[in-house]
């Protein structure tokens, strides 16, 4: 889970730390194991309202966990999709 910590001072000059969960409201997250029908709904971009961008595309990454081959889908929003496509195939997320 991605979090942002910001220092804050209220009107009584008390200091505190504000915590923002950037993927709050995400159904699948920024990445997901590539199971049938599971597509990421957020990307790594942090927007002005401190939430992650809504994923419109995804890339696929392969790896090995405990000797088993695993596949993950990583979400990308319209803002960052082209920059992450270099050398990787960019797929549109199917409409739900």
* 15-55 pLDDT tens trace: 776 665 655 555 566 777 777 788 888 888 888 887 788 88
Which of helix, strand or coil describes residue 83?
helix
Rg (CA), the chain: 17
| Residue 82: φ, ψ to 5° | -65, -35
Per-residue pLDDT at 88 exceeds 50:
yes
Residue 33 falls inside a structural domain: yes
The residue among 29, 51, 25, 54 whose CA lies nearest residue 40 is 29
Alpha-carbon distance 31 to 9, whole Å? Answer: 35
Number of structural domains the chain divides into: 1
Residue 2 falls inside a structural domain: no
Residue 16 falls inside a structural domain: no
Give the domain range for residue 86.
26-92
Decide: 26 and 33 in contact? Cβ < 8 Å. no
| pLDDT the model gives residue 1 | 43
Residue 35 falls inside a structural domain: yes
Residue 69 falls inside a structural domain: yes
Answering whether pTM is above 0.75, one says no
**Using one digit for the tens of pLDDT, what is the confidence trace for 51-82?**
788 889 988 888 888 888 888 888 888 888 87
């Amino acid at each position: 889970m991605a979090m942002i910590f910001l220092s804050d001072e209220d009107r009584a000059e008390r200091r505190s730390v504000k915590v923002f969960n950037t993927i709050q409201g995400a159904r699948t997250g920024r990445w997901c194991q590539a199971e049938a029908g599971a597509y990421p709904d957020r990307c790594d971009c942090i927007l002005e309202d401190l939430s992650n961008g809504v994923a419109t595309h995804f890339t696929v990454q392969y790896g090995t966990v405990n000797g088993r081959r695993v596949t993950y889908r990583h979400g990308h929003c319209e803002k960052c999709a082209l920059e992450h496509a270099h050398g990787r195939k960019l797929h549109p997320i199917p409409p739900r």
